[in-house]
C-alpha cells in the first residue's frame, strides 16, 4: 500500500510540474528504474521472466520494493526542492533521486555479498488460476 502511495505522490508531483504525456511518464519511470536497478522497465520485466501485462512491482522482492520506493520518494523530494519544471528538469531529478537508491543498493550488495536485483519473484508463477471451492 505504501508503495502505491509513494508512486502516486511522484506522479502527482510530475503532473504539477508540467509532465503531461504518457510517453513522458514512461521516460521518467525508466530513469527511476535504471538509476537504482541498472535496467529500464521492460528490461527488468524480461529479467524477471514476466509476461506482458504482469505488474513488475507485484513481482519485486521486499528489498527491490524498498529501493524503488526510496528512488521515487527521493525523486519527488528533489523535484520539489529544485522546483523542477517540464520533462528535462524532472528527468534530472529522477536521475539524482534514483542514484541515491542505486548507491544504497550497491552498499548493501557490498555488505551482504549478494545481488539485490534478482530474478526472484514475490508472487508465485501459476500456469493455472486457482479454483475456488
Question: Kindly report the CA angle at 64 between 32 and 116, in degrees rounded to 5?
Answer: 110
What are 91-120's pLDDT values in tens digits?
Answer: 999 999 999 999 999 999 999 999 999 998
pLDDT of residue 130 exceeding 70, the answer is: no
User: pLDDT-derived band of residue 126, with 50, 70 and 90 as boundaries?
Assistant: low
Rounded-to-integer distance, Cα 111 and Cα 89, Å? 34
Amino acid at each position: 500500500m505504501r508503495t502505491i502511495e509513494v508512486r502516486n505522490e511522484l506522479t502527482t508531483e510530475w503532473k504539477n510540474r508540467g509532465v503531461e504525456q504518457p510517453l513522458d511518464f514512461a521516460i521518467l519511470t525508466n530513469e527511476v528504474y535504471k538509476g537504482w536497478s541498472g535496467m529500464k522497465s521492460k528490461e527488468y520485466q524480461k529479467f524477471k521472466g514476466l509476461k506482458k501485462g504482469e505488474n513488475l512491482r507485484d513481482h519485486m522482492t521486499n528489498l527491490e520494493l524498498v529501493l524503488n520506493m526510496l528512488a521515487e520518494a527521493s525523486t519527488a523530494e528533489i523535484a520539489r526542492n529544485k522546483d523542477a519544471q517540464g520533462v528535462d528538469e524532472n528527468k534530472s531529478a529522477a536521475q539524482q533521486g534514483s542514484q541515491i537508491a542505486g548507491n544504497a543498493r550497491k552498499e548493501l550488495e557490498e555488505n551482504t555479498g549478494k545481488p539485490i536485483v534478482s530474478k526472484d519473484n514475490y508472487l508465485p508463477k501459476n500456469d493455472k488460476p486457482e479454483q475456488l471451492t
